Amino acid sequence: MSSAGGVLATVLTCPCAGVPTGYALSRADGEPPVTVPRDPARDAARRELSRRMYHENDPGLLRQALDAFWEWVGRLLGAASSAAPGGGLGLLVIVLAAVALLGALWWRLGSPRRAPASAVPLFDDRPRSAAEHRAAAEAHAARSHWDQAVQERMRAVVRSLEERALLDPRAGRTADEAAAEAARSLPGHTGRLRAAARDFDDVAYGGRTAAPDTYHRLAQLDGDLERARPALAHSGPGTAHSHHQGGAG
C-alpha cells in the first residue's frame, strides 16, 4: 500500500498526557483513526500505568492503611449521625453521656478484680507481731500511702487475734477466712470484720485504690477488737447457773 493510499502510522502520545502508547492508529491520508479494541486497550493502559514513574509519589503502606481507617471511621460516624436524633449534635451528646457513665462506674466500682481473693494468703513469709504491723501501717498513713496502710492494718488485726488466742496461727490464711473464723469468737463485729476483709482484698488483689476513710475505719475496728471481750463457747443461762451453784457450794 502506498503512502498516499493510507499507510497506517502509529500515533505516539506523551505518557504525561495519560494516553498510553499505541492507543489509536491514524491513517496518513487524513482518514479517521483506527480504534484499538477495548480489551487490548485496557491491557495496554494497565501496563502503562504500572510503570514505576507513575508511583514515585504514592504514600506508603502505613499511610494508606491509616487513610483507609479514617475513611471508614468517617463513614461510620456519618451513618451514626444520620441515625441519631438531632444529627451530629445528638450523636455528640450520646457519646459524652456514655463516657460520663463509664467514668462514674469506674470511679464507684474500681477496676475489675483480677483473681479470686480467697486464693491469696494474708501474710508473707516473714512473721511480724501485731505491734510491728500497726507501726508499719501508721508510717504508711503518715505518708498518705493508703493502699499499704490498709494492708498492714488488716494484718495487725489478724495478728492481734492470733496473739490473743482467738485465732489459731496458721500459714496461708486469707483475709476472708480470718474474718469468718474471728466472727465466731466476736459475733458482735461480724459485719465489720467481713467489710475489712473485702477492703483488704480489693486493695491488695483487686486493683482498687484505698481512701483515707477506709484506713480509718480499719484502725477503729482494730482498736475496738482490742477492747472487745470474746464470747465464750457453750456459754448460756444454764452454764452461768451451774457456775453460781458451784461457787455457793
pLDDT at 244: 40
Say how far apart CA 31 and CA 13 lie, in whole Å: 18
pLDDT at 140: 94
- Taking the domains of the chain in order of start, what are their residue ranges? 8-54, 62-109, 118-227
Cβ atoms of 160 and 226 within 8 Å: the answer is: yes
Give the bridge partners for 25, in sequence order: 10, 34
State mean pLDDT over 210-225.
94
Task: Give the model confidence (pLDDT) of 83-124 as tens digits.
Answer: 667 666 777 777 788 888 888 777 766 555 544 444 455 665
The three-state secondary structure class of 8 is strand
Measuring CA to CA, how many Å separate 160 from each of 12, 174, 219, 232? 99, 15, 13, 18
Indicate the burial class of 140 (C-beta count within 10 angstroms; 0-12, 13-18, 19 or more). Answer: buried
Q: How confident is the model at residue 173 (pLDDT cuts 50, 70, 90)?
A: confident
State mean pLDDT over 155-163.
93
> Which has more pLDDT, 60 or 218?
218
> Which has more pLDDT, 75 or 167?
167
Tell me the H-state helices in 84-129: 87-109
Q: How confident is the model at residue 239 (pLDDT cuts 50, 70, 90)?
A: very low
Q: How confident is the model at residue 159 (pLDDT cuts 50, 70, 90)?
A: very high
Segment holding 21, helix H or strand E: none
pTM: 0.48
Task: Give the model confidence (pLDDT) of 48-71 as tens digits.
Answer: 777 777 766 777 788 888 888 888
Say how far apart CA 158 and CA 179 lie, in whole Å: 8
**Which cell goes with 70?**
479514617
State mean pLDDT over 210-222.
94
Task: Give the model confidence (pLDDT) of 4-22 as tens digits.
Answer: 444 334 434 444 444 444 4
**Which has the closest alpha carbon to 36: 4, 1, 5, 8?**
8
State mean pLDDT over 173-186.
92
Indicate the burial class of 149 (C-beta count within 10 angstroms; 0-12, 13-18, 19 or more). Answer: buried
Q: How confident is the model at residue 126 (pLDDT cuts 50, 70, 90)?
A: low
Residue-averaged pLDDT of the chain = 75
Q: How confident is the model at residue 238 (pLDDT cuts 50, 70, 90)?
A: very low
